[in-house]
Structure 1
Amino acid sequence: MAELSLKGVVKRYGSYEIIRNASLDVADGEFVVFVGPSGCGKSTLLRMIAGLEHITDGEIRIGSTVVNDVEPADRGIAMVFQSYALYPHMTVEENLAFGLRMTGNPKVDTQRRVQRVADILQIRELMKRRPKQLSGGQRQRVAIGRAIVREPQVFLFDEPLSNLDAELRVQMRVEISRLHKELGTTMIYVTHDQTEAMTLADKIVVLRGGNIEQIGAPLDLYDNPANQFVAGFVGSPKMNFMSAEIIEATDHSVTITLLNQGNVRVTLPVERPRGGSGERVTLGIRPEHFVKAGQGDADLTIKVDVAEHLGNTSYIYANVTGGEQIIIEREESRNETNRDLLTVAIRSSHAFLFDSDGNRLR
């Protein structure tokens, strides 16, 4: 096991920067998830850690060793790919053992490691099968087993569950979480699915356009997003954003009017913004933080477009002036139907305010 450190890492193709000044410290045994939209640079960052991409600038350190110029095979890492990358002509047992045999590992030790992996992943009954005889979930187990058998210092996962159906993804998330607890090895995991990030990670790294937007524990990012992008990306359903304008600002509070919501006024406990009165801002509130009418700081009436009833929870959707969509989460709410008027309340203590650049006002 080992710590992992990135300091000022840059990846540039010509004049185009894919990764911009990325710095990150990963503790020994920590599970860190890189998350962000497609094209944000998360897979490129993972491949640089693996040594599959050269870095343009900066430093990558695994344990006490700077690995900028170290070959992938010598970095003490093992990588699990999205495509499984199993040898189709080999059995499961042969796939697991192949890497060790190629490095000249003693036969007895190779057999010991392969059997240990088979027990950990509960795939002993699959050992004589070939990949085409396995389900997607079983193939992914074998791909993970091929990484475990190397006994690496760091595991790297590149969107390993994206080829699986929804039920299998949930099952494999549980398996990977259990595996991390059992092995206690440092793991770096890339995904575009923020649900995977929230459920698996000790620490989440949110990327956008090659920049690290925020680093923190899952609930820290959920409760205290640094900016509007992180607030909108972390959480499902996503946070509601409503256009607003500041009408009054003091040293410790700001009063806004919601421009597309009947000019409803809300006062929030935030510091005086730079622009003051007349500044355009955005109010953010999560679907579960709307409360019943009269129980908050401002009431809001919307016309229901769609009501999704999912057992004990319902999601109420409304499209309003200006193209904004409001999503409201309610428990045991089965009475709202399409086109009904619904009045809810905003509680300022659960709301966020963002300036025109997307920075959070605190």
Structure 2
Amino acid sequence: MASVSINQVTKQFGAVSVIRGANLHVEDGELVVFVGPSGCGKSTLLRMIAGLEDISSGDIHIGDTMVNDIEPGDRGVAMVFQSYALYPHMSVQQNMSFGLRMNGNEKADTERRVQTAAKVLQLKPLLARLPKQLSGGQRQRVAIGRAIVREPQVFLFDEPLSNLDAELRVQMRVEIARLHKELQATMIYVTHDQTEAMTLADRIVVLRDGLIEQVGSPLELYHNPANAFVAGFIGSPRINFFTGVATEYAEGHQLVQLSGRGSAVAKVATTEALPSGTLIKVGVRPEHFEIGGACGFPIKVDVVEQLGSVSYLYADTTSEYPLIVARQDDGDHRSDELTISIRAGKALLFGADGNRLR
């Protein structure tokens, strides 16, 4: 396996900048997930690592080798795509071994690699089957097995689970996490699904408009986002945002009067006091509300999403961004009118430019 280094990489399509000065180092054996909204450049960046897209400027190293001008097949990478791209007339074994056979690899070594990959992916009972005889999850495992037999330095995954139904996606996330632990492989994984990113990643790379917004562990991005975009993108259900005005500062906490919420006040832990009257944005995770409180505000619950161990209460559902409150109980809160408040020190502050105020 090998590390991957991306240094000041850009990608232009005519006058359009798709990747704008990306810098990233992926450690040997690390699983890094690129995540972001559609069109942010995550798949383009992955394809540049693979050699399927040319680099406009900058350089990419795999291990100690700069690979800018090296052909994709010689970079030591294997890619798993959204489409399984299996040959329908070939068995699982033939699909997995096809690339090695076309490259003239020794027959005994090819068989060894296929058997090893089949054991890791629990495909041994399926080696004689055709793709049409497999489920979607099994087909995706065959596609991953085809990558494993190449024994690459780096695995690249481009939204490999997006064609699967919800239950299969959960199963395959577990499979890929187990595979990474077993192979100790360097993996770079692209997805638009932040739940996949949170589940799989050692580190997450959040992209927006061709820029890397933040890099960190899943919990680091969840609890300490660098800006409002990262805070809003990471976390399910999403974070709640309020506008407000800074008031007094005391004992390491900034008090914020929430706009349009009566006398509601957020008490936010910060290192520096803000000038009174400063307009700011307050972010609150659904689990950081509590029922009642002297500085709370009333809501009317419109919809309840009951998931067993937790319920999500939705208010203001006619607005663009409904208010979401998490409750750890079994109550049926539909049509309830509640007073809620923000737990002291749990809210996040963001300036007018969207950057985090700490």
Match of 1:189 in 2: 189
Match of 1:302 in 2: 299
Confirm or deny: 8 A CA contact 2:268 2:345 kept in the other structure: yes
- Deviation, 1:273, is 6.8
Separation in structure 2 between the aligned mates of residue 310 and residue 323 of structure 1, nearest angstrom: 23
Separation in structure 1 between the aligned mates of residue 139 and residue 113 of structure 2, nearest angstrom: 18
- Deviation, 1:90, is 1.4
Of 152-161 and 264-273, deviating more is: 264-273
- Deviation, 1:265, is 2.4
Match of 1:280 in 2: 279
Separation in structure 1 between the aligned mates of residue 97 and residue 181 of structure 2, nearest angstrom: 24
Separation in structure 2 between the aligned mates of residue 42 and residue 120 of structure 1, nearest angstrom: 28
Match of 2:120 in 1: 120
Q: Which amino acid aligns with 1:285?
A: V
Pick from 349, 354, 360 the counterpart of residue 350 of structure 2: 354
Of 222-231 and 258-267, deviating more is: 258-267
Instruction: Classify 1:130/1:150 alpha carbon distance in 2 versus 1 (closer, same or farther; 3 Å).
Output: same
Confirm or deny: 8 A CA contact 1:260 1:321 kept in the other structure: no
Q: How does 1:120-159 map to 2 (within 5 A)?
A: 120-159=120-159
Q: Does 1:336 align with 2:333?
A: yes
Q: Which amino acid aligns with 1:225?
A: P
Runs of 4+ in 1 over 6 A off after TM superposition: none
Of 115-124 and 252-261, deviating more is: 252-261
SS in structure 2 at match of 1:304: strand
Match of 1:54 in 2: 54
SS in structure 1 at match of 2:87: coil
Percent sequence identity over aligned pairs? 62
SS in structure 1 at match of 2:235: coil
Q: Which amino acid aligns with 1:344?
A: I
Q: Which amino acid aligns with 1:133?
A: Q
Match of 1:176 in 2: 176
Separation in structure 1 between the aligned mates of residue 257 and residue 146 of structure 2, nearest angstrom: 57
Match of 1:345 in 2: 341
Separation in structure 1 between the aligned mates of residue 322 and residue 253 of structure 2, nearest angstrom: 26
Per-residue CA deviations over 1:320-358 (Å, capped at 9, x if unaligned) read 8975521000011414122x2111221231100111111
Match of 1:326 in 2: 323
Instruction: Classify 1:53/1:246 alpha carbon distance in 2 versus 1 (closer, same or farther; 3 Å).
Output: same
Please give the TM-score of this superposition, normalised by the length of structure 2: 0.96
Separation in structure 2 between the aligned mates of residue 163 and residue 320 of structure 1, nearest angstrom: 30
SS in structure 2 at match of 1:349: coil
Match of 1:94 in 2: 94
Q: Does 1:7 align with 2:12?
A: no
Q: Which amino acid aligns with 1:326?
A: L
Match of 1:69 in 2: 69
Confirm or deny: 8 A CA contact 1:91 1:131 kept in the other structure: yes
Instruction: Classify 1:332/1:322 alpha carbon distance in 2 versus 1 (closer, same or farther; 3 Å).
Output: closer
Aligned pairs, number: 358
Q: Which amino acid aligns with 1:282?
A: K
Confirm or deny: 8 A CA contact 1:250 1:272 kept in the other structure: no
Match of 1:292 in 2: 291
RMSD of aligned alpha carbons: 1.8
Q: Which amino acid aligns with 2:356?
A: R
Separation in structure 1 between the aligned mates of residue 318 and residue 272 of structure 2, nearest angstrom: 28
Confirm or deny: 8 A CA contact 2:280 2:350 kept in the other structure: yes
> Is there any run of 5+ residues in structure 2 with no aligned partner, and where?
none
- Deviation, 1:248, is 4.1
Separation in structure 2 between the aligned mates of residue 30 and residue 225 of structure 1, nearest angstrom: 21
Separation in structure 2 between the aligned mates of residue 222 and residue 323 of structure 1, nearest angstrom: 23
Separation in structure 2 between the aligned mates of residue 44 and residue 116 of structure 1, nearest angstrom: 32
